[in-house]
Amino acid sequence: MKRIFSGVQPTGNLHLGNYLGAIRNWVRLQDEFECIYCMVDLHAITVWQDPAQLRANTREVTAGLLAAGIDPARHIVFNQSRVPQHAELAWVFNCVARLGWLNRMTQFKEKAGKHRENASAGLYVYPNLMAADILVYKATHVPVGEDQKQHLELARDIAQKFNHDYGVELFPIIEPLIMGAATRVMSLRDGARKMSKSEPSDMSRINLTDDADQIAQKIRKAKTDPEPLPESLEELAARREAANLVGIYAALADESAETVLARFAGQPFSVFKPALAELAVETLGPIGAEMRRLTADPGHIDAVLRDGAARASALAAPILAEVYDIVGLLRG
Ligand code: AMP
Ligand code: TRP
């Protein structure tokens, strides 16, 4: 059976972008693949995190995955730092990846901003740890949002260079799975920025924990232009805020953007927004409620993570041993 790996940073509220770009697809892939889903806490600390908040977020994001429908009995759900093989393989990959490759990573440039000298070394080698996350299980398929594509190409390059440098066929070719009508959900306040956990304005995103009133209010206040919805995808593409809302509607309804336009063309936002809000509340409401129920029982969440880590470690240990052996690190 093909193996899936994917990760999410436990750095704040899960939002609609995480859900449509990643988590909903993770849920859907459970019948076809053996899945490993990870709260990547070691990635989170590449920028400073309040320790108590990091622990709370790790539990909350886990609750989000379970509430969305991930089954921890059939698949593996755990937090990264409990399985030391991730960090160990990442060190080997720090020695495989080239500085020139890392220098091209746009996420580093965005996150480091103007004061690059002040960014942590961890933020710089972040993609090497991400490659290790996947390859320590020899996972082949990685469901993510659009923004992770470049990192996955780097992971592929690392796997190929390792195989080539040591004359082995150890690591598989990684296939990104970028699925659905909303692979890059944009901020509700600014159609040029992606919806993100770290954006200060809470009005920019719909959190999975938002209640019906909050969801409706955020959609009502979402930035748009004054025109009614267009008839064609070409006209829509030129209007990024409108395109974002139509994309969200299409993804939530499991329809194409074309179908959504066929229904709403010529209608003003005063008609479209309430329809979108109703759909969003209908889809996300039950997930938020289940998250709140699960978060009230941290003992259960912790047990899921402990059990997942033990199973993950059992898969990773022999693969890391193979790597150490190939590289010539003396053991035994
Ligand atoms: P992160 O919140 O950065 O840990 O991302 C976790 C997953 O959600 C990754 O697969 C991302 O690609 C995906 N994701 C994050 N933000 C968005 C967004 N605005 N639109 C679509 N997918 C996203
Ligand atoms: N970098 C990813 C993000 O911010 C999270 C992540 C870490 C990941 N390791 C991964 C995603 C491995 C897929 C596979 O969204």
Q: Is the CB of 185 under 6 A from ligand 1?
A: yes
CB-side neighbour CA atoms (13 Å) of 226 = 0
Query: At 12, which amino acid appears?
Result: G
What is the C-alpha separation between 202 and 311, in angstroms, rounded? 37
Mark whether 2 is an active-site residue.
Answer: no
Contact of 171 with 326, CB cutoff 8 Å: no
pLDDT of residue 55: 97
Would you state the structure tokens that stand for residue 159, as one six-digit string? 């796997």
> Which ligand 2 atom sits nearest the alpha carbon of residue 147?
15
Is the pLDDT assigned to residue 63 strictly greater than 80? yes
Cβ contacts of 281 within 8 Å, gap of 6 or more? 212, 215, 216
pLDDT of residue 198: 86
Q: What is the pLDDT of residues 232-273, one digit of tens each?
A: 999 999 999 999 999 999 999 999 999 999 999 999 999 999
Mark whether 273 is an active-site residue.
Answer: no
Is the pLDDT assigned to residue 1 strictly greater than 80? no
Nearest ligand to residue 184 Cα? 1
Would you state the structure tokens that stand for residue 31, as one six-digit string? 């019948």
Alpha-carbon dihedral sign for residues 102, 108, 109, 113: negative
49 DSSP 8-state letter: -
Q: Is the CB of 180 under 6 A from ligand 1?
A: no
Q: Is the CB of 206 under 6 A from ligand 1?
A: no
Helices (H) and strands (E) in the chain, counts: 15, 5
CA of 151 to the centre of ligand 1 (A): 13
Q: Is the CB of 208 under 6 A from ligand 1?
A: no
Alpha-carbon dihedral sign for residues 37, 59, 147, 205: positive
Beta bridge partners of 207: 15
Q: What is the mean pLDDT of the chain?
A: 97
Closest CA to 156 of 201, 96, 106: 96
pLDDT of residue 12: 82
Q: What is the pLDDT of residues 32-46, one digit of tens each?
A: 999 999 999 999 999
User: Which of the four pLDDT bands, split at 50, 70 and 90, describes residue 317?
Assistant: very high
pLDDT of residue 13: 85
Residues with a CB atom less than 6 Å from ligand 2: 5-7, 9, 40, 43, 130, 133-134, 142, 144, 148, 151
User: Which of the four pLDDT bands, split at 50, 70 and 90, describes residue 193?
Assistant: very high
- Among the listed residues 114, 138, 194, 221, the single catalytic one is 194
pTM of the predicted model as reported, rounded to 2 decimal places: 0.96
